[in-house]
Protein backbone atom coordinates (compact mmCIF):
# COMPACT_ATOMS: atom_id res chain seq x y z
CA UNK A 1 0.00 0.00 0.00
CA UNK A 2 2.81 2.42 0.78
CA UNK A 3 4.77 1.64 -2.40
CA UNK A 4 2.14 3.19 -4.63
CA UNK A 5 2.47 6.80 -3.43
CA UNK A 6 6.27 6.47 -3.54
CA UNK A 7 6.11 5.48 -7.22
CA UNK A 8 3.74 8.30 -7.96
CA UNK A 9 5.97 10.87 -6.25
CA UNK A 10 9.10 9.61 -8.06
CA UNK A 11 7.90 10.94 -11.41
CA UNK A 12 7.73 14.62 -10.48
CA UNK A 13 11.08 14.25 -8.66
CA UNK A 14 12.79 12.85 -11.80
CA UNK A 15 11.13 15.39 -14.04
CA UNK A 16 12.28 18.10 -11.65
CA UNK A 17 15.90 16.94 -11.72
CA UNK A 18 16.07 16.77 -15.53
CA UNK A 19 15.50 20.51 -16.22
CA UNK A 20 18.03 21.37 -13.53
CA UNK A 21 20.66 19.11 -15.12
CA UNK A 22 19.82 20.47 -18.56
CA UNK A 23 20.16 24.06 -17.31
CA UNK A 24 23.53 23.24 -15.74
CA UNK A 25 24.73 21.64 -19.00
CA UNK A 26 23.63 24.70 -20.97
CA UNK A 27 25.61 26.94 -18.60
CA UNK A 28 28.72 24.81 -19.10
CA UNK A 29 28.32 24.79 -22.90
CA UNK A 30 30.03 28.19 -23.55
CA UNK A 31 33.05 27.06 -21.51
CA UNK A 32 33.36 23.85 -23.54
CA UNK A 33 32.94 25.78 -26.81
CA UNK A 34 35.62 28.26 -25.80
CA UNK A 35 38.01 25.46 -24.80
CA UNK A 36 37.46 23.60 -28.08
CA UNK A 37 37.90 26.83 -30.09
CA UNK A 38 41.24 27.52 -28.43
CA UNK A 39 42.29 23.90 -28.97
CA UNK A 40 41.35 24.08 -32.66
CA UNK A 41 43.24 27.37 -33.09
CA UNK A 42 46.40 25.84 -31.62
CA UNK A 43 46.08 22.80 -33.89
CA UNK A 44 45.57 24.97 -36.99
CA UNK A 45 48.56 27.16 -36.15
CA UNK A 46 50.75 24.17 -35.35
CA UNK A 47 49.84 22.56 -38.67
CA UNK A 48 50.68 25.77 -40.54
CA UNK A 49 53.99 26.13 -38.70
CA UNK A 50 55.02 22.65 -39.86
CA UNK A 51 54.53 23.50 -43.56
CA UNK A 52 57.55 24.16 -45.85
CA UNK A 53 59.20 27.57 -45.51
CA UNK A 54 57.70 30.39 -47.60
CA UNK A 55 59.05 33.89 -47.05
CA UNK A 56 56.15 35.70 -48.76
CA UNK A 57 52.71 34.25 -48.21
CA UNK A 58 49.99 35.12 -50.69
CA UNK A 59 47.58 37.61 -49.11
CA UNK A 60 44.01 37.61 -50.33
CA UNK A 61 42.04 40.84 -49.93
CA UNK A 62 38.70 39.03 -49.95
CA UNK A 63 36.67 39.54 -46.73
CA UNK A 64 36.14 35.78 -46.46
CA UNK A 65 39.86 35.36 -45.68
CA UNK A 66 39.70 37.66 -42.65
CA UNK A 67 38.63 35.06 -40.02
CA UNK A 68 41.69 32.92 -40.82
CA UNK A 69 44.00 35.94 -40.77
CA UNK A 70 42.47 37.14 -37.48
CA UNK A 71 43.11 33.71 -35.92
CA UNK A 72 46.79 33.71 -36.99
CA UNK A 73 47.38 37.25 -35.71
CA UNK A 74 45.59 36.57 -32.43
CA UNK A 75 47.62 33.41 -31.82
CA UNK A 76 50.89 35.27 -32.43
CA UNK A 77 49.86 38.01 -30.01
CA UNK A 78 48.69 35.50 -27.40
CA UNK A 79 51.89 33.43 -27.48
CA UNK A 80 54.09 36.52 -27.37
CA UNK A 81 52.04 37.92 -24.47
CA UNK A 82 52.42 34.75 -22.40
CA UNK A 83 56.18 34.83 -22.98
CA UNK A 84 56.25 38.55 -22.13
CA UNK A 85 54.29 38.04 -18.89
CA UNK A 86 56.57 35.24 -17.65
CA UNK A 87 59.65 37.22 -18.63
CA UNK A 88 58.35 40.36 -16.89
CA UNK A 89 57.59 38.61 -13.60
CA UNK A 90 61.04 37.03 -13.48
CA UNK A 91 62.88 40.16 -14.62
CA UNK A 92 60.97 42.51 -12.31
CA UNK A 93 61.42 40.19 -9.34
CA UNK A 94 65.20 39.98 -9.73
CA UNK A 95 65.55 43.73 -10.34
CA UNK A 96 63.44 44.59 -7.28
CA UNK A 97 65.23 42.34 -4.79
CA UNK A 98 68.82 42.29 -6.04
CA UNK A 99 70.40 45.73 -5.61
CA UNK A 100 73.49 44.90 -7.64
CA UNK A 101 71.45 43.54 -10.51
CA UNK A 102 69.00 46.46 -10.26
CA UNK A 103 71.71 48.96 -11.21
CA UNK A 104 72.20 47.17 -14.51
CA UNK A 105 68.78 45.68 -15.21
CA UNK A 106 66.62 48.82 -14.97
CA UNK A 107 68.73 50.95 -17.37
CA UNK A 108 68.95 47.90 -19.66
CA UNK A 109 65.18 47.49 -19.55
CA UNK A 110 64.67 51.16 -20.37
CA UNK A 111 67.10 50.82 -23.27
CA UNK A 112 65.51 47.65 -24.63
CA UNK A 113 62.00 49.13 -24.62
CA UNK A 114 63.28 52.13 -26.56
CA UNK A 115 65.07 50.15 -29.28
CA UNK A 116 62.73 49.99 -32.28
CA UNK A 117 61.29 46.70 -33.43
CA UNK A 118 63.12 47.00 -36.75
CA UNK A 119 66.45 47.14 -34.95
CA UNK A 120 65.77 43.67 -33.55
CA UNK A 121 64.44 42.50 -36.89
CA UNK A 122 67.62 41.51 -38.80
CA UNK A 123 69.20 39.51 -35.99
CA UNK A 124 65.98 37.86 -34.85
CA UNK A 125 64.75 36.89 -38.32
CA UNK A 126 68.11 35.66 -39.59
CA UNK A 127 68.64 33.61 -36.43
CA UNK A 128 65.17 32.02 -36.48
CA UNK A 129 65.26 31.23 -40.19
CA UNK A 130 68.75 29.74 -39.76
CA UNK A 131 67.50 27.53 -36.91
CA UNK A 132 64.50 26.31 -38.93
CA UNK A 133 65.47 26.75 -42.61
CA UNK A 134 62.93 24.31 -44.03
CA UNK A 135 59.84 24.97 -41.94
CA UNK A 136 57.54 27.93 -41.45
CA UNK A 137 58.05 27.75 -37.69
CA UNK A 138 61.28 29.77 -37.97
CA UNK A 139 59.77 32.91 -39.46
CA UNK A 140 56.73 32.54 -37.19
CA UNK A 141 58.90 32.43 -34.08
CA UNK A 142 60.78 35.46 -35.40
CA UNK A 143 57.51 37.38 -35.76
CA UNK A 144 56.43 36.35 -32.24
CA UNK A 145 59.74 37.53 -30.78
CA UNK A 146 59.37 40.86 -32.60
CA UNK A 147 55.88 41.28 -31.13
CA UNK A 148 57.34 40.31 -27.75
CA UNK A 149 59.88 43.15 -28.09
CA UNK A 150 56.96 45.59 -28.20
CA UNK A 151 55.03 43.99 -25.31
CA UNK A 152 57.31 42.93 -22.47
CA UNK A 153 58.97 46.09 -21.20
CA UNK A 154 56.04 47.99 -19.74
CA UNK A 155 54.75 44.87 -17.94
CA UNK A 156 58.20 44.35 -16.42
CA UNK A 157 58.35 48.01 -15.34
CA UNK A 158 54.89 47.71 -13.77
CA UNK A 159 55.76 44.59 -11.78
CA UNK A 160 59.08 46.07 -10.66
CA UNK A 161 57.40 49.30 -9.56
CA UNK A 162 54.71 47.39 -7.66
CA UNK A 163 57.28 45.29 -5.80
CA UNK A 164 59.19 48.42 -4.80
CA UNK A 165 55.95 49.98 -3.51
CA UNK A 166 54.76 47.10 -1.28
CA UNK A 167 54.07 48.53 2.19
CA UNK A 168 56.58 47.70 4.91
CA UNK A 169 53.96 46.12 7.17
CA UNK A 170 53.17 43.51 4.51
CA UNK A 171 56.82 42.44 4.46
CA UNK A 172 56.72 42.27 8.25
CA UNK A 173 53.67 39.98 8.14
CA UNK A 174 55.49 37.70 5.67
CA UNK A 175 58.45 37.50 8.07
CA UNK A 176 56.23 36.78 11.06
CA UNK A 177 54.56 33.86 9.25
CA UNK A 178 57.94 32.71 7.88
CA UNK A 179 56.78 32.59 4.26
CA UNK A 180 59.21 31.27 1.69
CA UNK A 181 59.74 32.98 -1.67
CA UNK A 182 56.96 31.05 -3.39
CA UNK A 183 54.44 31.95 -0.68
CA UNK A 184 55.46 35.60 -0.79
CA UNK A 185 55.10 35.64 -4.58
CA UNK A 186 51.69 33.95 -4.68
CA UNK A 187 50.11 35.48 -1.56
CA UNK A 188 51.61 38.97 -1.37
CA UNK A 189 53.59 40.16 -4.40
CA UNK A 190 51.44 39.02 -7.32
CA UNK A 191 48.16 40.08 -5.63
CA UNK A 192 49.58 43.51 -4.77
CA UNK A 193 50.81 43.98 -8.36
CA UNK A 194 47.69 42.48 -9.98
CA UNK A 195 45.92 45.72 -10.93
CA UNK A 196 48.99 47.22 -12.54
CA UNK A 197 49.77 43.95 -14.33
CA UNK A 198 46.27 43.73 -15.78
CA UNK A 199 46.15 47.26 -17.13
CA UNK A 200 49.68 47.07 -18.49
CA UNK A 201 48.80 43.74 -20.08
CA UNK A 202 45.94 45.47 -21.84
CA UNK A 203 48.19 48.18 -23.22
CA UNK A 204 50.78 45.56 -24.20
CA UNK A 205 48.20 43.71 -26.27
CA UNK A 206 47.10 47.04 -27.74
CA UNK A 207 50.74 47.79 -28.61
CA UNK A 208 50.97 44.38 -30.28
CA UNK A 209 48.12 45.33 -32.60
CA UNK A 210 49.91 48.63 -33.26
CA UNK A 211 53.16 46.87 -34.30
CA UNK A 212 51.40 44.00 -36.06
CA UNK A 213 51.92 45.52 -39.52
CA UNK A 214 55.67 45.86 -39.00
CA UNK A 215 55.93 42.32 -37.55
CA UNK A 216 53.93 40.50 -40.22
CA UNK A 217 55.10 42.25 -43.38
CA UNK A 218 58.56 43.76 -43.79
CA UNK A 219 61.62 43.93 -46.02
CA UNK A 220 65.09 42.81 -45.02
CA UNK A 221 67.60 43.91 -47.64
CA UNK A 222 66.26 42.61 -50.95
CA UNK A 223 64.20 39.87 -49.31
CA UNK A 224 60.57 40.48 -48.50
CA UNK A 225 58.77 38.66 -45.68
CA UNK A 226 55.00 38.37 -45.43
CA UNK A 227 52.95 36.25 -43.01
CA UNK A 228 49.19 35.59 -43.16
CA UNK A 229 47.52 37.90 -40.66
CA UNK A 230 45.53 41.08 -40.18
CA UNK A 231 48.68 43.22 -40.18
CA UNK A 232 49.84 41.99 -43.58
CA UNK A 233 46.25 42.23 -44.85
CA UNK A 234 46.02 45.90 -43.86
CA UNK A 235 49.47 46.70 -45.28
CA UNK A 236 48.66 44.93 -48.57
CA UNK A 237 45.37 46.80 -48.78
CA UNK A 238 47.12 50.12 -48.08
CA UNK A 239 49.76 49.42 -50.76
CA UNK A 240 46.98 48.65 -53.22
CA UNK A 241 45.05 51.78 -52.12
CA UNK A 242 42.01 49.53 -51.62
CA UNK A 243 39.90 51.53 -49.17
CA UNK A 244 37.20 48.84 -49.12
CA UNK A 245 39.71 46.20 -48.03
CA UNK A 246 41.17 48.60 -45.42
CA UNK A 247 37.68 49.12 -44.01
CA UNK A 248 37.07 45.36 -43.87
CA UNK A 249 40.44 44.79 -42.20
CA UNK A 250 39.86 47.48 -39.58
CA UNK A 251 36.35 46.15 -38.92
CA UNK A 252 37.73 42.65 -38.37
CA UNK A 253 40.44 43.95 -36.05
CA UNK A 254 37.98 46.03 -34.04
CA UNK A 255 35.65 43.03 -33.81
CA UNK A 256 38.43 40.84 -32.41
CA UNK A 257 39.41 43.56 -29.91
CA UNK A 258 35.81 43.97 -28.71
CA UNK A 259 35.39 40.22 -28.28
CA UNK A 260 38.67 40.02 -26.34
CA UNK A 261 37.54 42.88 -24.12
CA UNK A 262 34.25 41.23 -23.24
CA UNK A 263 35.57 37.67 -22.86
CA UNK A 264 38.98 38.36 -21.27
CA UNK A 265 39.69 41.86 -20.01
CA UNK A 266 36.31 42.75 -18.46
CA UNK A 267 36.21 39.56 -16.33
CA UNK A 268 39.85 39.98 -15.34
CA UNK A 269 39.32 43.62 -14.31
CA UNK A 270 36.34 42.59 -12.18
CA UNK A 271 38.34 39.72 -10.68
CA UNK A 272 41.39 41.81 -9.62
CA UNK A 273 39.17 44.18 -7.67
CA UNK A 274 39.53 41.80 -4.71
CA UNK A 275 43.27 42.52 -4.58
CA UNK A 276 42.84 46.23 -3.91
CA UNK A 277 44.86 47.29 -0.85
CA UNK A 278 42.18 48.76 1.41
CA UNK A 279 40.35 48.19 4.69
CA UNK A 280 36.92 49.34 3.52
CA UNK A 281 35.25 47.66 0.55
CA UNK A 282 34.18 49.98 -2.24
CA UNK A 283 30.46 50.36 -2.88
CA UNK A 284 31.11 50.52 -6.64
CA UNK A 285 32.19 47.14 -7.99
CA UNK A 286 33.02 46.21 -11.57
CA UNK A 287 30.58 43.59 -12.84
CA UNK A 288 31.11 41.00 -15.57
CA UNK A 289 28.54 38.44 -16.77
CA UNK A 290 31.38 36.22 -18.01
CA UNK A 291 32.99 36.22 -14.56
CA UNK A 292 29.65 35.36 -12.95
CA UNK A 293 29.28 32.47 -15.41
CA UNK A 294 32.75 31.18 -14.54
CA UNK A 295 32.07 31.50 -10.82
CA UNK A 296 28.84 29.47 -11.07
CA UNK A 297 30.48 26.79 -13.21
CA UNK A 298 30.84 23.27 -11.83
CA UNK A 299 33.48 21.95 -14.20
CA UNK A 300 36.06 24.65 -13.42
CA UNK A 301 36.14 23.98 -9.64
CA UNK A 302 36.46 20.27 -10.45
CA UNK A 303 39.46 20.98 -12.72
CA UNK A 304 40.91 23.21 -10.01
CA UNK A 305 40.62 20.51 -7.35
CA UNK A 306 41.95 17.72 -9.57
CA UNK A 307 44.71 19.48 -11.53
CA UNK A 308 45.49 23.06 -10.48
CA UNK A 309 45.53 22.68 -6.68
CA UNK A 310 47.76 19.55 -6.65
CA UNK A 311 50.19 21.17 -9.08
CA UNK A 312 50.32 24.33 -6.98
CA UNK A 313 50.87 22.35 -3.79
CA UNK A 314 53.67 20.32 -5.38
CA UNK A 315 55.35 23.54 -6.59
CA UNK A 316 55.09 25.11 -3.12
CA UNK A 317 56.44 21.94 -1.50
CA UNK A 318 59.33 21.80 -3.94
CA UNK A 319 60.24 25.44 -3.25
CA UNK A 320 60.01 24.87 0.51
CA UNK A 321 62.29 21.81 0.32
CA UNK A 322 64.75 23.65 -1.90
CA UNK A 323 64.85 26.59 0.51
CA UNK A 324 65.43 24.20 3.40
CA UNK A 325 68.36 22.53 1.64
CA UNK A 326 69.90 25.77 0.44
CA UNK A 327 72.63 26.18 3.11
CA UNK A 328 73.63 22.51 2.85
CA UNK A 329 73.69 22.73 -0.94
CA UNK A 330 76.06 25.67 -0.80
CA UNK A 331 78.40 23.71 1.45
CA UNK A 332 78.38 20.65 -0.83
CA UNK A 333 78.85 22.44 -4.11
CA UNK A 334 82.43 23.48 -3.78
CA UNK A 335 82.91 23.32 -7.53
CA UNK A 336 80.09 25.76 -8.30
CA UNK A 337 82.50 28.69 -8.16
CA UNK A 338 84.62 27.14 -10.89
CA UNK A 339 81.54 26.61 -13.05
CA UNK A 340 80.36 30.19 -12.46
CA UNK A 341 83.82 31.48 -13.30
CA UNK A 342 83.86 29.46 -16.53
CA UNK A 343 80.42 30.77 -17.52
CA UNK A 344 81.45 34.35 -16.73
CA UNK A 345 84.65 33.97 -18.76
CA UNK A 346 82.73 32.53 -21.71
CA UNK A 347 80.23 35.39 -21.53
CA UNK A 348 82.99 38.00 -21.44
CA UNK A 349 84.70 36.42 -24.46
CA UNK A 350 81.43 36.40 -26.38
CA UNK A 351 80.77 40.04 -25.44
CA UNK A 352 84.30 41.04 -26.49
CA UNK A 353 83.87 39.29 -29.83
CA UNK A 354 80.51 41.07 -30.30
CA UNK A 355 82.04 44.46 -29.45
CA UNK A 356 84.84 43.90 -31.99
CA UNK A 357 82.40 42.96 -34.75
CA UNK A 358 80.11 45.88 -33.92
CA UNK A 359 83.07 48.27 -33.96
CA UNK A 360 84.13 47.03 -37.38
CA UNK A 361 80.59 47.54 -38.63
CA UNK A 362 80.30 51.01 -37.06
CA UNK A 363 83.60 52.18 -38.59
CA UNK A 364 82.07 51.64 -42.03
CA UNK A 365 79.75 54.64 -41.49
CA UNK A 366 80.80 57.66 -43.51
CA UNK A 367 81.15 61.14 -42.05
CA UNK A 368 78.08 62.50 -43.85
CA UNK A 369 76.00 59.58 -42.59
CA UNK A 370 77.23 60.19 -39.03
CA UNK A 371 76.21 63.85 -39.19
CA UNK A 372 72.78 62.81 -40.44
CA UNK A 373 72.44 60.37 -37.54
CA UNK A 374 73.30 63.07 -34.97
CA UNK A 375 70.83 65.53 -36.50
CA UNK A 376 68.19 62.80 -36.64
CA UNK A 377 68.79 61.98 -32.97
CA UNK A 378 68.20 65.60 -31.95
CA UNK A 379 65.03 65.82 -34.05
CA UNK A 380 63.54 62.60 -32.69
CA UNK A 381 64.45 63.59 -29.11
CA UNK A 382 62.46 66.81 -29.44
CA UNK A 383 59.48 64.93 -30.93
CA UNK A 384 59.54 62.40 -28.08
CA UNK A 385 59.51 65.13 -25.41
CA UNK A 386 56.69 67.03 -27.11
CA UNK A 387 54.74 63.77 -27.40
CA UNK A 388 55.17 63.03 -23.68
CA UNK A 389 53.97 66.49 -22.68
CA UNK A 390 50.91 66.30 -24.93
CA UNK A 391 50.09 62.79 -23.75
CA UNK A 392 50.39 63.60 -20.03
CA UNK A 393 48.37 66.81 -20.43
CA UNK A 394 45.19 64.91 -21.27
CA UNK A 395 45.86 61.33 -20.09
CA UNK A 396 46.41 62.17 -16.39
CA UNK A 397 43.08 63.96 -15.76
CA UNK A 398 41.20 61.55 -18.05
CA UNK A 399 42.73 58.50 -16.35
CA UNK A 400 41.83 59.79 -12.89
CA UNK A 401 38.29 60.60 -14.05
CA UNK A 402 37.86 57.06 -15.39
CA UNK A 403 39.62 55.15 -12.63
CA UNK A 404 37.92 56.89 -9.69
CA UNK A 405 34.48 55.72 -10.83
CA UNK A 406 33.90 52.00 -11.45
CA UNK A 407 30.71 52.53 -13.44
CA UNK A 408 32.37 55.09 -15.67
CA UNK A 409 35.34 52.77 -16.13
CA UNK A 410 33.05 49.92 -17.17
CA UNK A 411 31.61 52.09 -19.96
CA UNK A 412 34.74 53.92 -21.12
CA UNK A 413 37.34 51.14 -20.79
CA UNK A 414 36.13 49.04 -23.77
CA UNK A 415 36.06 52.16 -25.96
CA UNK A 416 39.57 53.15 -24.91
CA UNK A 417 40.76 49.57 -25.46
CA UNK A 418 39.42 49.56 -29.02
CA UNK A 419 40.82 53.00 -29.87
CA UNK A 420 44.22 52.15 -28.37
CA UNK A 421 44.41 48.88 -30.29
CA UNK A 422 43.53 50.20 -33.74
CA UNK A 423 46.90 50.61 -35.52
CA UNK A 424 47.42 54.28 -36.24
CA UNK A 425 49.55 53.30 -39.23
CA UNK A 426 46.39 52.20 -41.04
CA UNK A 427 44.90 55.68 -40.56
CA UNK A 428 48.12 57.62 -40.99
CA UNK A 429 47.87 58.27 -44.76
CA UNK A 430 44.63 60.17 -44.11
CA UNK A 431 46.26 62.12 -41.24
CA UNK A 432 49.27 63.07 -43.35
CA UNK A 433 47.03 64.13 -46.22
CA UNK A 434 45.03 66.42 -43.94
CA UNK A 435 48.17 67.88 -42.32
CA UNK A 436 49.71 68.48 -45.74
CA UNK A 437 46.70 70.52 -46.76
CA UNK A 438 46.55 72.41 -43.47
CA UNK A 439 50.33 72.79 -43.17
CA UNK A 440 53.08 71.04 -41.27
CA UNK A 441 53.54 67.89 -43.30
CA UNK A 442 55.22 64.82 -41.89
CA UNK A 443 57.29 66.80 -39.36
CA UNK A 444 54.06 67.45 -37.44
CA UNK A 445 52.33 64.28 -38.61
CA UNK A 446 55.05 62.12 -37.03
CA UNK A 447 54.26 63.68 -33.62
CA UNK A 448 50.58 62.87 -34.13
CA UNK A 449 51.37 59.24 -34.95
CA UNK A 450 53.77 58.90 -32.00
CA UNK A 451 51.07 60.38 -29.77
CA UNK A 452 48.49 57.89 -31.08
CA UNK A 453 50.85 55.03 -30.33
CA UNK A 454 52.18 56.04 -26.89
CA UNK A 455 49.59 58.11 -25.02
CA UNK A 456 47.80 54.93 -23.91
CA UNK A 457 50.73 53.87 -21.73
CA UNK A 458 50.15 56.90 -19.50
CA UNK A 459 46.36 56.64 -19.62
CA UNK A 460 46.15 52.95 -18.71
CA UNK A 461 48.69 53.27 -15.88
CA UNK A 462 46.91 56.30 -14.44
CA UNK A 463 43.59 54.41 -14.59
CA UNK A 464 45.23 51.51 -12.74
CA UNK A 465 46.64 53.91 -10.12
CA UNK A 466 43.29 55.63 -9.62
CA UNK A 467 41.48 52.28 -9.29
CA UNK A 468 44.07 51.11 -6.72
CA UNK A 469 43.46 54.11 -4.43
CA UNK A 470 42.01 52.70 -1.18
CA UNK A 471 38.36 53.45 -0.57
CA UNK A 472 39.02 54.40 3.06
CA UNK A 473 41.41 57.19 1.97
CA UNK A 474 38.76 58.55 -0.38
CA UNK A 475 36.25 58.52 2.45
CA UNK A 476 38.70 60.42 4.67
CA UNK A 477 38.90 63.13 1.99
CA UNK A 478 35.10 63.26 1.84
CA UNK A 479 34.79 63.54 5.61
CA UNK A 480 37.48 66.24 5.73
CA UNK A 481 35.67 68.06 2.90
CA UNK A 482 38.76 68.47 0.75
CA UNK A 483 38.38 70.75 -2.21
CA UNK A 484 39.35 69.65 -5.70
CA UNK A 485 42.85 71.14 -5.58
CA UNK A 486 43.52 69.79 -2.08
CA UNK A 487 42.24 66.33 -3.06
CA UNK A 488 44.61 66.26 -6.04
CA UNK A 489 47.54 67.45 -3.92
CA UNK A 490 47.02 65.22 -0.87
CA UNK A 491 45.49 62.03 -2.35
CA UNK A 492 45.38 61.64 -6.11
CA UNK A 493 48.84 62.73 -7.25
CA UNK A 494 50.71 60.94 -4.42
CA UNK A 495 48.55 57.85 -4.90
CA UNK A 496 49.02 57.54 -8.66
CA UNK A 497 52.64 58.75 -8.70
CA UNK A 498 54.31 55.29 -8.97
CA UNK A 499 51.89 54.33 -11.74
CA UNK A 500 52.40 57.66 -13.50
CA UNK A 501 56.18 57.24 -13.51
CA UNK A 502 55.80 53.74 -14.96
CA UNK A 503 53.46 55.12 -17.61
CA UNK A 504 55.81 57.96 -18.52
CA UNK A 505 58.82 55.65 -18.78
CA UNK A 506 57.01 53.17 -21.00
CA UNK A 507 55.45 55.98 -23.03
CA UNK A 508 58.91 57.46 -23.59
CA UNK A 509 60.24 54.10 -24.76
CA UNK A 510 57.15 53.58 -26.87
CA UNK A 511 57.60 56.99 -28.50
CA UNK A 512 61.19 56.16 -29.47
CA UNK A 513 59.99 52.81 -30.77
CA UNK A 514 57.08 54.33 -32.68
CA UNK A 515 59.43 56.75 -34.44
CA UNK A 516 60.34 53.99 -36.92
CA UNK A 517 56.74 54.03 -38.14
CA UNK A 518 56.05 57.73 -37.62
CA UNK A 519 59.02 59.14 -39.51
CA UNK A 520 59.21 56.72 -42.45
CA UNK A 521 56.52 54.65 -44.14
CA UNK A 522 55.33 53.36 -47.52
CA UNK A 523 51.86 53.87 -48.95
CA UNK A 524 50.51 53.49 -52.48
CA UNK A 525 53.99 52.94 -53.86
CA UNK A 526 55.29 56.19 -52.34
CA UNK A 527 57.73 56.70 -49.45
CA UNK A 528 57.13 59.47 -46.92
CA UNK A 529 59.88 60.43 -44.49
CA UNK A 530 61.18 63.23 -42.30
CA UNK A 531 64.39 63.93 -40.43
CA UNK A 532 64.84 61.62 -37.45
CA UNK A 533 66.46 58.49 -36.06
CA UNK A 534 63.35 56.45 -36.75
CA UNK A 535 63.47 57.35 -40.43
CA UNK A 536 67.17 56.48 -40.61
CA UNK A 537 66.62 53.10 -38.94
CA UNK A 538 63.65 52.22 -41.17
CA UNK A 539 65.47 53.30 -44.33
CA UNK A 540 68.61 51.37 -43.29
CA UNK A 541 66.53 48.23 -42.66
CA UNK A 542 64.85 48.60 -46.06
CA UNK A 543 68.17 48.98 -47.89
CA UNK A 544 70.13 46.51 -45.78
CA UNK A 545 72.53 49.25 -44.62
CA UNK A 546 73.57 47.54 -41.39
CA UNK A 547 76.33 50.02 -40.35
CA UNK A 548 73.86 52.94 -40.28
CA UNK A 549 71.25 50.72 -38.61
CA UNK A 550 73.73 49.79 -35.87
CA UNK A 551 75.05 53.30 -35.19
CA UNK A 552 71.58 54.87 -35.20
CA UNK A 553 70.34 52.24 -32.74
CA UNK A 554 73.40 52.76 -30.52
CA UNK A 555 72.80 56.53 -30.45
CA UNK A 556 69.18 55.93 -29.48
CA UNK A 557 70.33 53.64 -26.66
CA UNK A 558 72.83 56.26 -25.40
CA UNK A 559 70.15 58.97 -25.33
CA UNK A 560 67.72 56.71 -23.48
CA UNK A 561 70.36 55.62 -20.95
CA UNK A 562 71.25 59.25 -20.24
CA UNK A 563 67.62 60.17 -19.63
CA UNK A 564 67.19 57.12 -17.41
CA UNK A 565 70.22 58.08 -15.34
CA UNK A 566 69.31 61.75 -14.93
CA UNK A 567 65.51 61.60 -14.65
CA UNK A 568 63.70 58.27 -14.36
CA UNK A 569 65.94 56.57 -11.79
CA UNK A 570 65.57 59.52 -9.39
CA UNK A 571 61.81 59.64 -9.85
CA UNK A 572 61.58 55.89 -9.23
CA UNK A 573 63.48 56.37 -5.96
CA UNK A 574 60.98 59.05 -4.91
CA UNK A 575 58.03 56.82 -5.87
CA UNK A 576 59.33 53.84 -3.88
CA UNK A 577 60.12 55.84 -0.72
CA UNK A 578 58.12 59.02 -0.32
CA UNK A 579 54.89 57.88 -2.02
CA UNK A 580 54.74 54.29 -0.80
CA UNK A 581 51.29 53.37 0.52
CA UNK A 582 51.87 52.42 4.16
CA UNK A 583 51.07 53.46 7.72
User: Could you report the per-residue pLDDT of 273-296, keeping only the tens digit for each?
Assistant: 777 765 555 555 667 777 777 777
CATH code: domain of residue 440: 1.10.3720.10
Q: Is residue 9 part of a domain?
A: no
Residues 257 and 299 in one domain: no
Residues 271 and 299 in one domain: no
Q: Is residue 44 part of a domain?
A: no
Residues 123 and 190 in one domain: yes
Question: CA–CA separation, 510 vs 457, rounded Å?
Answer: 8
β-pairing, 217-220 with 223-226? Answer: antiparallel
Q: Is residue 117 part of a domain?
A: yes
| 467: confidence class by pLDDT, cuts 50, 70, 90 | confident
Residues 278 and 296 in one domain: no
The total of structural domains in the chain comes to 2
User: What's the pLDDT at 13?
Assistant: 47
- The stretches of 363-423 forming alpha helices (DSSP H) are 367-403, 406-421
Residues 449 and 312 in one domain: no
Residues 194 and 313 in one domain: no
User: Radius of gyration over alpha carbons of the chain, in Å?
Assistant: 26
Residues 252 and 321 in one domain: no
Dihedral pair phi/psi, residue 308, rounded to 5°: -70, -50
- Give pTM, 2 decimals: 0.74
User: What's the pLDDT at 6?
Assistant: 46
Residues 183 and 303 in one domain: no
Mean pLDDT confidence for 395-419: 82
Residues 257 and 275 in one domain: yes
* Residue (of 27, 467, 70, 441) closest to 233 by Cα position: 70
Instruction: Say if residue 8's pLDDT is above 50.
Output: no
Q: Is residue 6 part of a domain?
A: no
Question: CA–CA separation, 415 vs 421, rounded Å?
Answer: 10
Residues 296 and 441 in one domain: no
Q: Is residue 333 part of a domain?
A: no
Q: Is residue 492 part of a domain?
A: yes
Q: Is residue 462 part of a domain?
A: yes
Dihedral pair phi/psi, residue 288, rounded to 5°: -150, 120
* Residue (of 57, 6, 424) closest to 226 by Cα position: 57
326, 351, 383 - which closes a domain: 326
Tens of pLDDT, residues 296-354? 777 777 777 777 777 777 766 766 666 555 444 444 444 556 676 777 777 777 777 77
326, 343, 376 - which closes a domain: 326
Residues 100 and 161 in one domain: yes
Q: Is residue 450 part of a domain?
A: yes
Domain coverage including residue 311: 290-326
275, 301, 326 - which closes a domain: 326
Residues 280 and 404 in one domain: yes
Amino acid sequence: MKSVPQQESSKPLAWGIFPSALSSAVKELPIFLAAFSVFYAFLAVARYWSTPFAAEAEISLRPSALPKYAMFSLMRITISYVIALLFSIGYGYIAAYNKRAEKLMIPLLDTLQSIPVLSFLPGVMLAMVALFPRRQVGIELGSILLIFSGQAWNIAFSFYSSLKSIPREMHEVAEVYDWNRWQKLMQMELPFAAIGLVWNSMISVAAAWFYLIACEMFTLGKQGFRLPGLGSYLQTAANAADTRAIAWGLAAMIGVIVVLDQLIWRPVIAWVEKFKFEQTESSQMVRSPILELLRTSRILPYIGRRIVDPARERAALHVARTAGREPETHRRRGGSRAINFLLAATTLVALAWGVVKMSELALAVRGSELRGILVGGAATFLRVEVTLLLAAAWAVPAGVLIGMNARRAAVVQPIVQVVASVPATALFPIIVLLLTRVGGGLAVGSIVLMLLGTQWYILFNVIAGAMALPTDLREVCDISRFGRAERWRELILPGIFPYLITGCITASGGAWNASILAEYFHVSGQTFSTTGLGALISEAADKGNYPVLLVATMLMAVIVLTINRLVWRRLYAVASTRFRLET
